[in-house]
Structures are given as C-alpha cells and as structure tokens.
Amino acid sequence: NAGVMQNPRHLVRRRGQEARLRCSPMKGHSHVYWYRQLPEEGLKFMVYLQKENIIDESGMPKERFSAEFPKEGPSILRIQQVVRGDSAAYFCASSPATGQGRYEQYFGPGTRLTVT
Amino acid sequence: AQSVTQLDSQVPVFEEAPVELRCNYSSSVSVYLFWYVQYPNQGLQLLLKYLSGSTLVKGINGFEAEFNKSQTSFHLRKPSVHISDTAEYFCAVSGGAGNNRKLIWGLGTSLAVNP
C-alpha cells in the first residue's frame, strides 16, 4: 500500500510566479491536511479538506493561497505570486474518514519550495 | 485554544543511555496526543499516540510515553537510545473529533545521540 505521495519534492520559483503542490493520499483515505514548516517557527496547520469540501482553513493565509481536493485526482495547494517568505517545506497528510485510524495522520515526504 | 510546549530544544545523549523528551500541552477540551519523528529532509513518522485508556502508551522503535492529565504532560521516553535515533521529535495535540482534527505542534526537540 503506497504511502502519501507528494510532488514535486523540490520546487524553485521566482518571485511573482505560481507554485502548485500536489498530494495523493494513501489508498482509502478521504481526508487531507496541509502543513507548512518554516525555520524557527515549526510546523503550522494550513488547511483540512475532504473530497470536494474544505473543512477547516483557519491556518491559510488570507491572500494568494488556495487548496482543493477534487473528486478525482490529487489535492492541490496553490500559491499565487510567491514571495521569499513562502520558502518552506510543505507537508501533506491523510487519514481515513472513519474507524480508529481516523485520529492518525500519515505524512508524505514534503515539497520543499524555494523562492528566488 | 490548544498549545504545545516542548521544554527542550536540544537533547544530547550518549548511545545506550536513557532519554526523556518533555512535552506539555494546554487545552480546554479533551485532547488526543501524538509524538512524531522527523529524520533529515524527510517527512514525519508517527511514533505513538494517546487517544484514551491506559496512560502509558508504547510506540515503535522502543519508545513509550505517559499521559499525565493533572500535569498536562505527555513525555516521551526510551530506556536505551541508538545512534539511529538521532532526529527531530515533535509533540502534537488535536481535538480529534469531528472537524477539529488539525494537529497543533510543539517546536520540536533535536535529539543527538553520540557514540
């Protein structure tokens, strides 16, 4: 059973460009979470999604950031007009909807975004 | 609101020595508690979790943690560490139920195991 997959693993963007980060959850998982890891700030929750539905976006910056989890395909975290401060590691996690395992989140390897 | 404090940012220890990584949390509701490990340039791997029941939980790689509700702590322990345990360790809390599944994280503890 493949784990959570994220691509690309490394992404370099110039200031003002768009960044698209992809996350494929574990098989059978319908819940996806995005976190950002910044140096000196640790891990921060960004958004929690189910298929076609945003459940909690309390950690998302108000501007330039958006996330989706369509019925088919991976979850996408989109950052428009990137700035240097967006440079970070972005982690995706997934969990099943029901059962004991729904309390556990399984993480992907992350996408390391560098804005030049 | 929930928060997590990891009391030590760095813990150096010699191989085969015991280690304790400390974690305190604050929450106005019942919580679920987790420890994750992160090796350099990798994702996060779940070590163990406390959801309910026995306050002493055992995880992978010989780690265990004890949930202490009165002291709002969830310290991680291992009786004898190996070089391969060198990594960053994160304590996290969630409300767990319904829509409150997001993980709130401590800043991490860097464990350095020396020969």
What tens digit of pLDDT does each residue of B6-22 get?
999 999 999 999 999 99
- Closest chain A C-alpha to B70 CA, distance in angstroms: 23
Q: Is residue A91 less than 8 Å (CB to CB) from chain B?
A: yes
Vertex B3 angle, CA A35 and A36, to 5°: 15
- Closest chain A C-alpha to B85 CA, distance in angstroms: 19
Give the whole-angstrom CA distance, residue B31 versus residue A100: 15
Give the whole-angstrom CA distance, residue B28 versus residue B95: 10
pLDDT tens across B24-38, in order? 999 877 789 999 999
Residues B42-69 have a mean pLDDT of 93
Whether the CB-CB separation of B86 and A29 falls below 8 Å is answered with no
- CB-based contact A103 B46, cutoff 8 Å: no
Residues 6+ apart with CB under 8 A from A87: A113, A114, A115
Q: Which two tokens stand for residue B54?
A: 């026995």
Report the Cα–Cα distance between both ends of chain A, in Å, rounded. Answer: 37
Percent of chain A with pLDDT over 90: 84
SS3 A52: coil
Q: How far is CA A99 from its chain centroid? A: 23
- CB-based contact B99 A48, cutoff 8 Å: yes
Residue B4 has pLDDT above 70, yes or no: yes
The pLDDT assigned to B98 comes to 65
- CB-based contact A103 B101, cutoff 8 Å: yes
- CB-based contact B43 A107, cutoff 8 Å: yes
- Closest chain A C-alpha to B81 CA, distance in angstroms: 24
DSSP code of residue B99: T
The pLDDT assigned to B97 comes to 61
The pLDDT assigned to B53 comes to 86
Residue A1 has pLDDT above 60, yes or no: no
pLDDT tens across A49-103, in order? 999 999 999 999 999 999 999 999 999 999 999 999 999 999 999 998 877 777 8
Q: A48 forms bridges with which residues in the sheet?
A: A33, A56
Contacts with A112 from chain B: Cβ below 8 Å: 41
Residues A5-29 have a mean pLDDT of 96
Percent of chain B with pLDDT over 70: 97
Q: Is residue A44 less than 8 Å (CB to CB) from chain B?
A: yes
Q: Is residue B22 less than 8 Å (CB to CB) from chain A?
A: no
Which range, of A50-54, B29-33, B55-59, B72-76, averages the lowest pLDDT? B29-33
Q: Is the peptide bond before A8 cis (omega within 30 degrees of 0)?
A: yes
